[in-house]
Amino acid sequence: MGPQFSVIFQGIAARAAKGQNSNPMAEIIGQLSEPMAERAYELAQQASTARL
Amino acid sequence: MTTLARLHSIDFRQIGLAGFGRAGDYYKRQMARLEATSRQQVLPGQVPELPHLQELLRWYSSHLPEDMVTIVHGDYKFDNVIFHPTENRIIGVLDWEMSTIGHPFTDVANLSMPFYHAPGFPPPIASVVDVEGIPTIEAVLQLYCRHAGRPYPFAGWPFCISFAFFKVRPVVYMRRGW
């Protein structure tokens, strides 16, 4: 797990300890939504012969 | 996948769902809506513009899949199905709040995302590629196409799977009320 993900999970765990997030799964996906947008770009690039 | 194929094989007009959503151009309408939503969600210093937004929209516009129209669950994934306690079959499908009439491959792509996660994505959204007992994505898609009566491979698949990742942030933020 890279440092970016470690930071995300530390933040989620800290808020969970304070009772500030009621849905950890939604929280995790929310935190990873930017990397998922990057993944959308990578997948489109892989499928394309030309640079986007 | 077989349950999803059965859902997509239902004639929605025949069961009284003709007015459940607009028929046709599902992905075009999604692109327009998600572009507008993504721009509205930008908050200086808090929420940046969606990465590669313009480039992706250009690419999507020129790689739109063949249009199809079926019932769409909208959030079809393992968390939203109930398996029989002792038999290898699904006995319930939950969470229909995003269901509509649309392109069936949006559901197929949603369910297939774990096969395409980038290396390093942590559980619970880690890649399932090379996990013992999990079939290949090709086998999964072939299973769906066989049961849905659709040809395999599907030419528009790269669009569908990329778009499934693209829409995560706008949809997550919409659900948070941003």
Are the beta carbons of B165 and A40 separated by less than 8 Å? yes
Q: Quote ipTM for the complex.
A: 0.85
More confident of the two residues B161 and B39:
B161
The confidence score (pLDDT) of residue B80 equals 93
Summarize pLDDT for B109-153 with one digit per residue, the tens.
999 999 998 877 776 667 888 888 889 999 999 999 999 999 999
Helix (H) or strand (E) holding B100: strand B100-102
The reply to whether B144 falls in a domain is yes
What pLDDT was estimated at residue A34? 78
The answer to whether residues B72 and B106 touch, using CB atoms and an 8 Å cutoff, is yes
Q: Is residue B74 part of a domain?
A: yes
Split into its structural domains, chain B has a count of: 1
In this model, does residue A28 exceed pLDDT 70? no
Alpha carbons within 13 angstroms on the beta-carbon side of residue B21 total 20
Separation of alpha carbons B55 and B157, rounded Å: 18
Which residues from chain B sit within 8 angstroms of residue A30, using beta carbons?
Answer: 172-173, 176
Considering only CB atoms, which chain B residues are within 8 Å of A39?
A: 116-118, 165
* B178 falls within a domain: no
Task: Test A33 with B173 for CB contact under 8 angstroms.
Answer: yes
pLDDT at A3: 45
Please give the average per-residue pLDDT across B142-168, as a whole number.
94
Per the confidence metrics, is the pTM higher than 0.90? no
- Per-chain mean pLDDT for chain B: 90
Closest-CA residue in chain B for A33? B169
Q: Any idea which residue has 């079926």 for tokens?
A: B70
Whether B87 is in a domain gets the answer yes
Give the residue numbers spanning the domain of B159. 2-173
Distance from CA of A31 to the nearest CA of B (A): 9
Partner A contacted by B59 (CB < 8 A): yes
A52: nearest CA in chain B?
A: B55
Looking up residue B128, the CATH number of its domain turns out to be 3.90.1200.10
**Where does the pLDDT of residue A18 fall: very low under 50, low under 70, confident under 90, or very high at 90 and above?**
low
3-class SS at B71?
Answer: strand
Q: How confident is the model at residue B27 (pLDDT cuts 50, 70, 90)?
A: very high
- Chain B within 8 Å of A28 (Cβ-Cβ)? yes
